[in-house]
Chain A
Amino acid sequence: GAGVSQSPRYKVTKRGQDVALRCDPISGHVSLYWYRQALGQGPEFLTYFNYEAQQDKSGLPNDRFSAERPEGSISTLTIQRTEQRDSAMYRCASSKGVTSGGASDTQYFGPGTRLTVL
């Protein structure tokens, strides 16, 4: 079946503009995660959802960043008033959900959105 998809794959914007990045998880996956990966670094956690509920947003760098998943499927990560330091690869992942035993399901990653802020 289809994997995690993200759009757009590339986004170039000017400083001060707002951007919205979209993630379409694997069908039926309960949990959805957002990560940010700077050049030469590993992915860094931003936030995650179980169904439509945002469970942890501790990784969002500041209040310009927000995420939503209103119907428990597609999610949007929005960055307001973009700055050059926001330039990075933004990765989305999804998983089946936490089992009753607490074991973590495998997170399946999408191809990412490369954001460049000029």
Chain B
Amino acid sequence: AQSVTQLDSQVPVFEEAPVELRCNYSSSVSVYLFWYVQYPNQGLQLLLKYLSGSTLVKGINGFEAEFNKSQTSFHLRKPSVHISDTAEYFCAVSALNTGFQKLVFGTGTRLLVSP
């Protein structure tokens, strides 16, 4: 079975500062990796995904993430955050043994951006 760990439940940061949201996963088979964002009263929106190829993945709204197989990590980064980035961020994996159909999510990290 797969699992995802997001150690930081909440990350406070000032506007225009850089941010990193951490994600570690566990799986004995090949995985795909995802970051989703949830704004208040809205559905989950895909930020970016890693399927294969380059380990540095760029997504929407200036976010990027780096897949590190040896450390089983997929941390999300943004060099300069905006107030509008305040939201909850979920890391997720899908695995070969489920046909990559079932997403397994972490518990989420709430990003709080203040002026």
List residues of chain A with CB under 8 Å of any chain B CB.
3-4, 31, 33, 35, 40-45, 48, 55-56, 59, 91, 93, 98, 102-104, 106-112
Within 8 A of A (CB), among B59-115: 90, 92, 94, 98-108
CB distance from A103 to the nearest CB of B (A): 6
Q: Are A48 and B43 in contact (CB under 8 A)?
A: no
Contacts of A112 in B (CB 8 A): 43
Residue of B nearest to A4 (CB): B43
Q: Are A31 and B101 in contact (CB under 8 A)?
A: yes
Among A45, A59, A104, the most chain B Cβ lie within 10 Å of the Cβ of A104
Contacts of A42 in B (CB 8 A): 4, 90, 92, 105-108
List residues of chain B with CB under 8 Å of any chain A CB.
4, 32, 36, 41-46, 49, 51, 90, 92, 94, 98-108
Q: Are A56 and B102 in contact (CB under 8 A)?
A: yes
Given A109-B44, A111-B42, decide whether A98 and B99 contact each other with a Cβ distance below 8 A: yes
Docked Cα-Cα span, A59 to B105, in Å, equals 13
Q: Are A111 and B100 in contact (CB under 8 A)?
A: no
CB distance from B7 to the nearest CB of A (A): 13
In the complex, which of the residues A4, A40, A43, A108 contacts B103, with contact meaning CB atoms closer than 8 Å?
Answer: A43
A-B residue pairs, 8 tightest by C-beta: A42-B105, A104-B100, A109-B43, A109-B44, A45-B102, A111-B43, A43-B105, A42-B107
In the complex, which of the residues B90, B100, B107 contacts A103, with contact meaning CB atoms closer than 8 Å?
Answer: B100
